[in-house]
Structure 1
Amino acid sequence: MILTVTPNPSLDRTYEVPTLMRGEVLRATSDRMDPGGKGVNVSRAVAAAGRDTLAVLPLGGAPGALVAELLRAEGIAVAAVPVAGQTRSNISVAEPDGALTKINATGPELTAAESETLLDAVRAHSADADWIACCGSLPRGLAPRWYAALVARAHEAGARIALDTSGPPLLAALRERPDVVKPNAEELAAAVGRPLRTIGDAVAAAGDLRALGARTVLASLGADGQLLVTGSGVWFGSAEADAVRSNVGAGDASLAGFLAAGGEGPEALAAAVAHGAAAVRLPGSVMPTPSDLDPAAVTVTADVPLDRVLTEPTP
């Protein structure tokens, strides 16, 4: 079972339009509503693969109730922590060429008591978890060390932790030695304080995160692929995405695939790449099922192309 923790979940509405025109009245060609948040998406991808998952998350107001309802409709067990504030609602506008415009709300401010209740809920449900995936930004009211406290408590309970966050919360949590961290290129560059121009730069930055405490780094490099950097070696995985429809949740699908495949080694990296490539071909934040995957299109190698310039170098 994979337990996910989403401190700042959302209700996500996605609209597909022919062209985004500022100041105009637009008619959507399609629209959908999904439970959102990085950990929520990981649970949705795990459930789509037919695996057991439990989503632990703070929920408040009518949007929070709808998030829980939508998750349960997908067969996902929910451990909801009631909060006084209202769960945020986000809007995404997708265009045919893959361009995505997002408006993310701030979300509620959690009290000290709600913060502690959320940690208690994770501890109460962690005994049966193969992995705990802690994902996304922290809401107002939670200090940057909140993830560090969660990692420490989970390790005390004998659980393995995968962390997908950025900025001060990531750097603070590294001191507690999370088992896996999953930054994208921009987050990786910010964590080490220097730009990334090549895949070799990304490998070096991932090594720096390991030196700071991360046991394994799974780094998403967008269209260029993904890196897995561990104490045993470095691997590079890639796959052709012939038609990008929406990249919402693609990184979360990758993490789900990685953990569902065991969470270590090149086989798990191949699963991560396959899930990410499948996710970008789907609308909104739809998570891929096994029938959406194309493992034959995935290449994983230990011969990492260090000198290859990234398609989107970080500033």
Structure 2
Amino acid sequence: MTAEPRPTGTAHAAVAAAVAPFFAGLPARERSTYDRVSHRYVEPLDARDVAATLAPLFARAYVQHLEGEYEDRRLIARVRPADGTAEHVTRERFAEAVSTVLRHVPAAPATASFQTRRAVEHVRLLAERGPLSPYVRRVASAIGERLPYLGDLDPRPTLVRAGTTSTASPEARAEQRRAYMREKSRAARAQTREGRRESMMRAAAWCVIWREQVGPGAHAAPELHAAYATAAERAGMTPLGRTQLYRIADEALGPRKRRAAGPVYVVPQEVAPMNLEQRRDLAALIVDRLTAEWREHALDGLADLVAERRTEQVAPDVDNVAPVVNLDARRALRVA
């Protein structure tokens, strides 16, 4: 399958003309929600209103087809007039095409309201994540409901399902499905890692600021964690776990010291303050070092586990049969 084409100059003009009515008034917006990726509140244009606006553009190339015993399953197909077929596309591929269009929605003009300009910015922000964005999937689903039906076209194209062309063998179709699932899983893991890295960066920067503010002396590690958790919750973030925070704090503040009352972080008498850029560089250095260290430990731990389990296995004799036990010798040992 080929990738979805990017909007051309004509397509850009069509998208701009379609969304122009949004800029004239005060369009409906989604309920404000906290976005954990960008760490900000987003309030994009209402998904169903956006879908109603963009549906005529997609109706030029896409159709819907209902199937199932009660016609409760909706398929999306891309019409190919040259060969008289309509090729089925997956929901992810269709959502990717929708996200491409949303990413190219023009910015609202200065004459539009502040709320509208901000809502359009949030639409483009969420569209950058493609099918992984729930907002993009809602827009794509609503557009699919507004597409023309395959059976209403005259002449009616032949529906060709993805990977079922005559040139694709069953093995090739199976490999296509596996490749699709691998790519989907890889994209999901990449987004999770990126969000986790951002949280670690913020925690490292917070530790540097905390060291400059608390002053010299010994500070209990639980107090550090409690202060960090409170700050994270106030910022609308999910705080890191205690163990992960301590690993970051050990790099930013120095290793914990053992005292009778428990572990403490010792802040020296002279602490040179850092500017924003220095804090960001230090936080990136800490996170890069920890992530590399965790990967190394994970590989070492796996090797140790394999070696340990191999030593626990009973080694067979040379004939690959169960070892023979001399019962007379064992009785003689017990008597002795």
- Interval of TM-score (by shorter of Structure 1 and Structure 2): under 0.3
Give me the TM-score of the superposition, normalised by structure 1.
Answer: 0.23
Between Structure 1 and Structure 2, the one with more helix by share is 2
The normalised TM-score by structure 2 is 0.22
